Structure 1
Amino acid sequence: MNHNDSAANSVIASQLVADNARLQILPKHFGAHHLYVENLVFVFARTLVPTYRGGYWRFYELSNGGFYMAPEMASARVCVEGNGFEGELTADAIGITVCLFAFSHGSFVLTGHAGETCARHYTWLREYSWLHPEQSLISAAID
Structure 2
Amino acid sequence: MTMTQDRITSSVVPEELRMNVLPRYLGRHYLTGESYVYDWAARLDRSYQGGLWLFFTLSNGGFYMAPAEASRVHVHWHMNGYSDMMGSDAFGITVTLFALCHLAEKTLDDAIIERYHQLRQFAAQHVEAANILRAID
- Identify the TM-score tier after normalising by the shorter chain: over 0.9
**AA partner of residue 124 (structure 1):** Q
Q: 1:78 is paired with a residue of what secondary structure?
A: strand
Distance 1:9 1:57 in 2: 29
Please, what TM-score do these two structures have when normalized by structure 2? 0.93
Instruction: Look up the match of 2:84.
Output: 87
Distance 1:119 1:131 in 2: 19
Instruction: Look up the match of 2:65.
Output: 69
Q: CA RMSD in A?
A: 1.4
Segments of 5+ residues of structure 2 without an aligned counterpart are: none
Distance 2:73 2:134 in 1: 16
Deviation at 1:8, TM superposition (A): 5.4
Segments of 5+ residues of structure 1 without an aligned counterpart are: 1-6
> 1:107 and 2:107 equivalent?
no
Percentage of matched positions with identical amino acids: 37
Deviation at 1:33, TM superposition (A): 1.0
Distance 2:38 2:105 in 1: 18
Question: How many pairs does the alignment contain?
Answer: 134
Asked if structure 2 preserves the Cα contact closer than 8 Å seen for 1:68 and 1:125, the reply is yes
Please, what TM-score do these two structures have when normalized by structure 1? 0.90
